[in-house]
Amino acid sequence: MAYSEHLADRVRQRLSKANITEEKKMMGGLIFMVNDKMCIGVDRDRATGEDRLMVRVGKANHDQLIFQRGSKDMDFTGRVMRGFLFIAPEGFDADADLDFWVEKALVFNASA
């Protein structure tokens, strides 16, 4: 599995008060399950070799969040998975930016 343990630890710290029910190694990375639902994950982009976040934001939030710095459609299978976004390092390197994405994932998780 190719993902950054450092990035995983940063996410894990932010989820410490959430109900993390499981950490699953899947889709080439590490997915954090909150309340038994996929919430946020980390992996490495095979094309660029950069770390990235996989954030579940829901279909309703997808269209407005796609324009955030570092954000792009999640397209594992070559088909866009609406409701999920990939976030490149420029969108999460700063602590405030990572906090933003974790919060978006947790807000959607609570309503899913």
> How many other C-beta atoms are found inside a 10 Å radius of the C-beta of residue 79?
9
Predicted confidence at residue 112, as pLDDT, reads 85
Summarised one tens digit per residue, pLDDT across range 29-88 is: 999 999 999 999 999 998 899 999 999 999 999 999 999 999 999 987 788 889 999 999
Q: Does domain 5-111 have CATH number 3.90.1150.30?
A: yes
Summarised one tens digit per residue, pLDDT across range 16-31 is: 888 888 999 987 899 9
Predicted confidence at residue 28, as pLDDT, reads 82
Count of positions (residues) in the chain: 112
Predicted confidence at residue 103, as pLDDT, reads 97
Predicted confidence at residue 77, as pLDDT, reads 77
Predicted confidence at residue 76, as pLDDT, reads 74
Per-residue pLDDT band at 1 (split at 50, 70, 90): low
How would you list the strands of the sheet with 71-73, edge to edge? 20-26, 29-34, 37-44, 51-56, 84-87, 71-73
Q: For 28, what's the count of Cα atoms within 13 Å in the CB-facing half-sphere?
A: 12
List the beta bridge partners of residue 33.
Answer: 22, 38
Q: Report the alpha-carbon distance of residue 26 to residue 55 in Å, rounded.
A: 14
